[in-house]
């Protein structure tokens, strides 16, 4: 929906390049514009991939089988892996250099995309979606680091970062429309094959980027491992049934307990639990997570509704999300102006309240509701989300010390990705047991979560220091 939460990623240290050794030519320098385009393209690739598959899911189900749980895993294998590894990949990028990490990540993402397009079965597709998630987690923190490295002048850098964020927002919002068009023009495999030319272009630009300095950034491997186990176990518990669900839930509980214990003892934890002593941080993470549950969960459910219940083509289903897409992009632009004039809390409140109203209005949707009206009723939810997220991020960044901004942004972004994935898992399980009853239950759950975070946002309070 928006990439504002990544704007405060750690800035790379000043680059002091040693003279090249004898016999070796200096590395080619890159123009700032070329670096910016490469970063925007890489960001667009990984954010587009988080939403482009939704409209293609029914086609995948018809081609590969697997039922509802299989379709849920096509989405969640990517988003859960992406979110879980985001906790550490910023530090990894620092250790090997942003430019090198970007090249590795884009290469892996492009190859995994081709493998997804050629997948002979659902299990293979899901496996390569995991690889895509790993690559996306590597790419995301490098894109902004490269932009900041390329622009020394603060004014030019701010403009570049704004373009970077706008490009990511637009790519993510356009996902359902692009997915519908590609699936109709060919089939579901096209939503992955489109990444091949785009990935090659991103690599061609990246090879001209100036090399990035490496920094000794600490890695919390035990914390990262237990976080992955906890999130994967929770996803399995929500999506699967029977004994496997119970075992997965047990693994998630044990891994979460281990994670919390490790994070309280690590000198450099992937998730500094002390951050959550500040009430503003806790509210921002909670609100961002609730918005992701509602937005991505409804994107998944209504993609199925348009095609399986209303029997529309993938292209027609994608067009149904076009008003929603325009609302997200427009609200993102408006939110910045409102936050500058009224502060971040008011647009957060208005945005969350608008999303709650939108969710309640969607309860009116049934089998006989006109498609145009359904598309219009999706607008308040998306506009509210687009209005709330940028100031929500700004509010959180204001609440943490400058040296914790990157970590805080990683926590917020990771929490949003995880919540979106779990929303897909939970709502998919609900609609699998009866579509209309599941749709209404999903809308009510989303509305309740957002109501709680709206009330929490409305009640300002001081938290404990975060440093």
- Indicate if 36 and 145 belong to the same structural domain: yes
SS3 content of the chain, % helix, strand, coil (to 5): 80, 0, 20
Task: Determine, yes or no, domain membership for 107.
Answer: yes
- Indicate if 438 and 310 belong to the same structural domain: yes
Q: What percent of the chain has pLDDT over 70?
A: 86
End-of-domain residue from the set 183, 210, 237: 210
Encoded tokens for 430: 């609900």
Using only the alpha carbons of the chain, give its radius of gyration: 21
- Indicate if 260 and 289 belong to the same structural domain: no
- Under 8 Å between Cβ of 461 and 97: no
Per-residue model confidence (pLDDT) at position 467: 38
End-of-domain residue from the set 210, 242, 259: 210
Task: Indicate the pLDDT class of residue 15, thresholds 50, 70 and 90.
Answer: very low
Task: Determine, yes or no, domain membership for 3.
Answer: no
Residue 23: its H or E element: none
Task: Determine, yes or no, domain membership for 127.
Answer: yes
State yes or no: pLDDT of 174 exceeds 90.
no
State yes or no: pLDDT of 65 exceeds 60.
yes
- Indicate if 366 and 239 belong to the same structural domain: no
Task: Determine, yes or no, domain membership for 13.
Answer: no
Task: Indicate the pLDDT class of residue 142, thresholds 50, 70 and 90.
Answer: confident
Encoded tokens for 298: 């409804």
Alpha-carbon distance values, 232 to 9, 235, 289, 334 (Å): 25, 5, 17, 36
- Under 8 Å between Cβ of 48 and 174: yes
Task: Return the SS3 of 368.
Answer: coil
DSSP letter assigned to residue 1 = -
Write the DSSP string, 37-76.
Answer: HHHHHHHHHHHHHHHHTTTTHHHHHHHH--HHHHHHHHHH
Per-residue model confidence (pLDDT) at position 276: 85
Low-confidence winner among 140-144, 169-173, 274-278, 415-419 (lowest mean pLDDT): 169-173
Rounded Cα–Cα distance for residues 409 and 40 (Å):
19
Rounded Cα–Cα distance for residues 69 and 404 (Å):
38
Q: How many residues does the chain have?
A: 467
- Indicate if 243 and 305 belong to the same structural domain: no
- Indicate if 37 and 143 belong to the same structural domain: yes
Q: How many CA atoms lie within 13 A of 161 on its CB side?
A: 19
Task: Indicate the pLDDT class of residue 392, thresholds 50, 70 and 90.
Answer: confident
The count of other CB atoms within 10 Å of the CB of residue 357 is: 15
Task: Determine, yes or no, domain membership for 17.
Answer: no
- Indicate if 171 and 238 belong to the same structural domain: no
- Indicate if 231 and 143 belong to the same structural domain: no
State yes or no: pLDDT of 53 exceeds 70.
yes
Q: Could you tell me the CATH number of the domain that includes residue 172?
A: 1.20.1250.20
Encoded tokens for 358: 């939108």
Encoded tokens for 421: 């994935």
- Indicate if 408 and 353 belong to the same structural domain: yes
For the chain, the domain total comes to: 3
Residues 70-89, mean pLDDT to the nearest whole number: 85
Residue 366: its H or E element: none
Task: Determine, yes or no, domain membership for 397.
Answer: yes
Encoded tokens for 299: 């994107």
State yes or no: pLDDT of 381 exceeds 50.
yes
Low-confidence winner among 15-24, 76-85, 127-136, 338-347 (lowest mean pLDDT): 15-24
User: What dihedral angle (degrees, nearest 10) is formed by the CA atoms of 90, 96, 99, 101?
Assistant: -60
For tokens 């890159």, what's the residue?
A: 30
Q: Which residues of 437-456 are buried (b: 16+ CB within 10 A; e: fewer)?
A: ebbbbbbebbbebbbebbeb
- Indicate if 357 and 417 belong to the same structural domain: yes
Rounded Cα–Cα distance for residues 86 and 73 (Å):
19
Residues 307-334, mean pLDDT to the nearest whole number: 87
Rounded Cα–Cα distance for residues 327 and 324 (Å):
5
Task: Determine, yes or no, domain membership for 20.
Answer: no
Write the DSSP string, 84-146.
Answer: HHHHHHHHHHHHH-HHHHHHHHHHHHHHHHHHHHT-SSHHHHHHHHHHHHHHHHHHHHHHHHH
Task: Determine, yes or no, domain membership for 464.
Answer: yes
End-of-domain residue from the set 179, 210, 241: 210
Encoded tokens for 90: 């910023």
Domain span at residue 246?
220-267
Encoded tokens for 353: 């309240």
- Indicate if 166 and 230 belong to the same structural domain: no
Q: What percent of the chain has pLDDT over 90?
A: 31
Residues 194-204, mean pLDDT to the nearest whole number: 92
Rounded Cα–Cα distance for residues 3 and 9 (Å):
11
- Indicate if 338 and 370 belong to the same structural domain: yes
Most confident of 26-30, 81-85, 127-131, 310-314: 127-131
């Amino acid at each position: 929906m928006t990439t504002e939460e990544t704007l405060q990623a750690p800035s790379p240290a000043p680059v002091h390049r040693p003279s090249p050794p004898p016999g070796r030519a200096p590395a080619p320098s890159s123009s700032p514009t070329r670096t910016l385009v490469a970063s925007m393209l890489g960001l667009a690739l990984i954010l587009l991939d988080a939403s482009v598959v939704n409209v293609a899911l029914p086609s995948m189900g018809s081609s590969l089988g697997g039922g509802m749980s299989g379709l849920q895993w096509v989405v969640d294998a990517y988003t859960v892996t992406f979110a879980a590894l985001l906790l550490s990949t910023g530090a990894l990028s620092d250790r090997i250099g942003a430019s090198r990490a970007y090249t590795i990540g884009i290469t892996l993402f492009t190859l995994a995309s081709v493998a997804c397009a050629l997948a002979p079965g659902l299990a293979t597709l899901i496996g390569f979606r995991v690889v895509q998630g790993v690559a996306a987690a590597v790419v995301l923190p490098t894109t902004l680091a490269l932009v900041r490295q390329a622009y020394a002048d603060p004014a030019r850098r701010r403009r570049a970062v704004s373009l970077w964020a706008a490009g990511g927002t637009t790519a993510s919002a356009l996902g359902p429309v692009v997915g519908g068009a590609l699936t109709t023009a060919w089939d579901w495999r096209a939503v992955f094959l489109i990444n091949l030319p785009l990935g090659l272009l991103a690599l061609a630009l990246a090879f001209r980027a100036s090399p990035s300095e490496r920094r000794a950034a600490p890695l919390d491997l035990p914390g990262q491992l237990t976080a992955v186990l906890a999130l994967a176990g929770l996803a399995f518990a929500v999506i699967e049934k029977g004994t496997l669900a119970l075992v997965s839930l047990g693994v998630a509980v044990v891994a979460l307990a281990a994670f919390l214990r490790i994070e309280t003892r690590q000198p450099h934890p992937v998730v500094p639990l002390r951050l959550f002593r500040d009430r503003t941080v806790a509210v921002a993470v909670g609100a961002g997570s609730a918005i992701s549950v509602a937005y991505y969960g409804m994107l998944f459910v209504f993609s199925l509704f348009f095609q399986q219940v209303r029997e529309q083509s993938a292209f027609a289903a994608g067009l149904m999300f076009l008003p929603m897409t325009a609302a997200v992009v427009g609200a993102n632009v408006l939110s910045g102006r409102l936050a500058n004039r009224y502060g971040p809390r008011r647009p957060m409140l208005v945005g969350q309240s608008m999303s709650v109203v939108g969710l309640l209005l969607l309860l009116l949707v049934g089998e006989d509701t006109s498609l145009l009206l359904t598309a219009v009723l999706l607008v308040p939810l998306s506009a509210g989300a687009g209005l709330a997220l940028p100031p929500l991020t700004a509010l959180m960044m204001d609440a943490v010390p400058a040296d914790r901004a990157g970590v805080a942004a990683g926590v917020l972004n990771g929490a949003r990705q995880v919540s979106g994935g779990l929303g897909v898992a939970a709502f998919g399980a609900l609609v699998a047991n009866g579509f209309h009853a599941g749709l209404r239950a999903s809308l009510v759950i989303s509305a309740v979560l957002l109501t709680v975070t709206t009330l929490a946002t409305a009640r300002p309070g001081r938290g404990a220091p975060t440093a």
